Chains A and B, each alone.
Chain A
Amino acid sequence: MAPMLPPGRLGRILAALAVAVGAGAWAAARTGGPAGAPGFLVGLAVALLTAGLVARRPVPVTLAIVGLSSVYLLGQIGQPTALGATALFAVAMLVVLELGWWSTELAVPVVWERSATRRRWWVLVALVAGGGVLAFAVGLAGVAGRDTSLVWFAVAAGAGPAGAWAVVRVTRAASRG
C-alpha cells in the first residue's frame, strides 16, 4: 500500500501543478494554440513537473520550468514586448519553482510547526509581490527610450530596488520571529 502524502505537501503539489498548467496553457495559446508543438512541450513539462514533485526530485521540476519558459519565449518571437504578461508569467514560474522545491524537501516526513509554515508562506507572498514589481521594473528599464519614455525608466530604477528592499525586510522579520 502506497504511503499517503501529507496534506500540506499534497496542497503544495496541487497548487504548483495548477499554476504550471494555467501558465503553460496560456503560453501555448499565445504561441499558436494548444494542438501543435507548443502544446506538446507544455504537456511534457507538466508531466516532468508531476514526476519530480511526486518523486521528490528537484531536477525534473527545474527542467519543467525551463520548458514552460521556453514555450513562452518562443511565442514572443516577432511580437512586441508585453511587459505585464511577461512579469506575470515570471511570477507564476517563481511560484511553481518555490512550491516545487518546498515539496521535494527531505524524504523523512518532517512535522512542521504551524508558526514556521505560516512564516514561510508570508515570505513566499512577499517574494512573489516583490518579484512581480522587480520583473516589471526590469522590463521597463529594459525598454526605456525604445518603447517607453525615460520617465518610466526612472520609475523602474526606483521601484526595483525599493521592492527588493521591502522583500528583504519582510524576510528578515519573518526569520527573527
Chain B
Amino acid sequence: MRWRPAPKLHVYVALVSAAFVAGLASGRVEPVVLAAPLALAVAVGLAAAGPAAVELGVELAHARITEGDTVALDVTVSAPRGLPHVEVVVDIPAGLAALAPGPARGLALRAGEPRRLEFALRSSRWGSYELGEVVVRACSPLGLLETDGHSTGRLPLVVYPRPETLRRLVRAQQVQTAPGLQLAAVKGEGIEFADARPFVPGDRVREVNWRITARRGAVWVNQRHPERSTDLVLFLDTFGDPTLPAAVRAASSLAAGYLVQRDRVGLIGFGGVLRWIRPGVGLRQEYLLIDALLATRVFPSVAWKGITLLPPRVLPPKALVVAVSPLEDDRALTALLDLRDRGIDLVILEVSPLACMSAPTDEAEALAQRLWRLRRAELRDRYRDLGIPTVEWSEGKPLAAAIEEVRAWPRCSRRVG
C-alpha cells in the first residue's frame, strides 16, 4: 500500500497558492494571513504521515448455517505504525444483511496492535455465498493522503433453507418392502392391530388372541399391519424463475420430513438443465439433496425435454412423486402427464406465481390477468380430473396446510379420463 494525494490535499494546495498569488499581486498581507492556517494544515498533514501499511485478516465463524441464522465475520486489522483513520467496509452479497452497527466501521489503529472487528451477518435467503471481500481505506492525519486495499480471500458460506415443521406427510398408495414408519395396507408382522382370523399351523403362539379364542371356542390369532417405508421422488420444476426460491424451500421441507421417517427420497430437477439424485436414505442423502437444491438455478433452454431422458432407477416402482411446480412451462406440464400415464403415484404442489405478480395498472392488463387465472384454473381442473391431487401453495402460507389438503384428497377413487 502506498499513500496517494487525497482530493482534499489538491484543494488546500490550490487555495494556499491562490491566496499567495493574490497577496503578491495586491501587495497586501491579508490573503496570505487567510491562507496561513491552510498551509499549516498541509504541512502538518504531510509531516505526520507515517508509512502506509495495513494488514488484514478475515475469518468466518461457520461455513454452514440455516436460513435466518446469524454468522460472525471476524476482520483483524493491524498496522506497523499508528493510523488515525481506518475505515473497514465489508462487501455483503444480496441475501445477507449486516446487523447493527452496520457493514462499515471506522477506527484508529495503534502501532503494532491488531484490532478484531466482528461483523454479525444475518441470512435472509438460502443459497451459496462467497464472503471475504473486505475493503480497507486509511487516511493520514487530516485526511490529506489516503490509501486503500482489500482482502483477497474467499470464504464460502452455505445457507440451508429452514425446513418447515410437517407433522403429517402425504402417504404413498403403495409401500416398499423395507421397514419404515408407514402402515402398510396389507397384513403381516407389525405393531398395529389389523384383524383376527382362525389359527392355522405355523402361527406363533404369541399372536393368539385369547379373548376371541375363549368366546369362540377355537384358537384365533391377531393379524397386524406391517410398518414399511415409502419412496419419495421430488420433481422440482426449475423452469419457473420467480417461484424457484419458494419451490426449493418446499422441496427441502418435504425431503427433511420424509428422511426423518426413514423413507427413501430422491430428486429430479426438471428444467433447462436436467439433474437427478437417486432415492436414498440417511443423513448423507439429506446433505446430497440439500446441496443439489442449493445449486438449483434457472437455465434458459428451448430444448424439448421429457421424462424419457430419466434413468429408470430414478423413478422406482411404487414411488410417490411430489411435483413442486408453478405449472407454467409446457415441457413440465407434459412431463407430469407422462408420469400420470405411466401409472406413477403423483401429487402436484403448485407453487403459485400469483404472489410474484404486481397488481394490474389498467383495464387491459386486468383482463389479461383474469384470462391467465382462468387458464390456470382450467389446467388445475384438468389434472384433478385425471385423478392427480393438485393443491395451490405460495410462500408465506404454511406448507402443512397444503399437505393436509392433499391428504384429504380422495386418491383411491380416481376418475381416469
Contacts and interface: CB of A to CB of B under 8 A. Distances in A.
Interface of A: 58, 62, 65-66, 69, 72-73, 76, 81, 83, 86-87, 89-91, 93-94, 97-98, 101-102, 105-106, 108-113, 115-116, 119-120, 123, 127-128, 130-132, 134-139, 142-143, 163-164, 167-168, 171-172, 174-177
Nearest to A163: B40
Interface string B21-37: 01000001111111111
B34 A175 contact: no
B37 A127 contact: yes
B310 interface: no
A177 to B, nearest CB: 4
18 contacts: A62-B15, A72-B34, A81-B30, A86-B30, A90-B36, A91-B37, A94-B38, A110-B87, A110-B104, A111-B104, A111-B105, A116-B107, A128-B37, A138-B33, A139-B29, A142-B33, A172-B48, A176-B110
Contact of A167 (B11, B44, B137): B44
B386 interface: no
A159 to B, nearest CB: 12
Contacts of B72: none
B383 to A, nearest CB: 46
Interface in B39-89: 39-41, 43-45, 47-48, 50, 81-85, 87, 89
B40 A176 contact: no
B108 A113 contact: yes
A96 B381 CA distance: 73
A111 B44 contact: no
Contacts of B103: 108
Contacts, number: 160
B18 to A, nearest CB: 8
> Which of B15, B41, B43, B101: most chain A CB closer than 10 A?
B41
Given A94-B38, A111-B101, A120-B85, A65 B15 contact: yes
B216 to A, nearest CB: 82
Interface string B129-142: 00000000100111
B141 A175 contact: yes
Interface of B: 7-8, 11, 15, 22, 28-41, 43-45, 47-48, 50, 81-85, 87, 89, 101-111, 113, 137, 140-143
B31 A142 contact: no
Contacts of A143: 29
Q: Which 7 A-B pairs have the closest CB atoms?
A: A131-B37, A142-B29, A112-B106, A176-B82, A177-B110, A116-B108, A111-B101
Given A115-B108, A127-B44, A177-B108, A90 B34 contact: yes
B33 A83 contact: yes
Contact of A175 (B11, B29, B48, B107): B48
B310 to A, nearest CB: 49
A113 B107 CA distance: 5
Contacts of A127: 37, 40-41, 44, 142
Contacts of B29: 81, 83, 86, 138-139, 142-143
A125 to B, nearest CB: 13
Contacts of A93: 34, 37
B33 A90 contact: yes
B84 A132 contact: no
Contacts of B143: 101-102, 105
B141 A62 contact: no
A176 B36 contact: no
A134 B89 contact: no
Given A131-B41, A139-B33, 15 more contacts: A72-B30, A93-B34, A94-B37, A94-B38, A98-B41, A105-B143, A109-B102, A111-B102, A113-B107, A134-B39, A164-B44, A167-B40, A175-B83, A176-B110, A177-B109
Contact of B37 (A90, A106, A113): A90
Contacts of B84: 116, 119-120, 123, 174-175
A116 to B, nearest CB: 4
Contacts of A142: 29, 32-33
A90 B39 CA distance: 11
> Which of A91, A164, A174, A176: most chain B CB closer than 10 A?
A176
Nearest to B14: A62
Contacts of A106: 87, 104, 137
B100 to A, nearest CB: 8
Given A58-B7, A174-B141, A135 B102 contact: no
B129 to A, nearest CB: 20
B42 to A, nearest CB: 11
Contacts of A163: 40
Contacts of A175: 48, 50, 82-84, 108, 140-141
B142 A97 contact: no
Contacts of B39: 134
Contact of B48 (A73, A102, A116, A171): A171
A66 B35 CA distance: 11
Nearest to A106: B87
Nearest to A128: B37
A106 B106 CA distance: 11
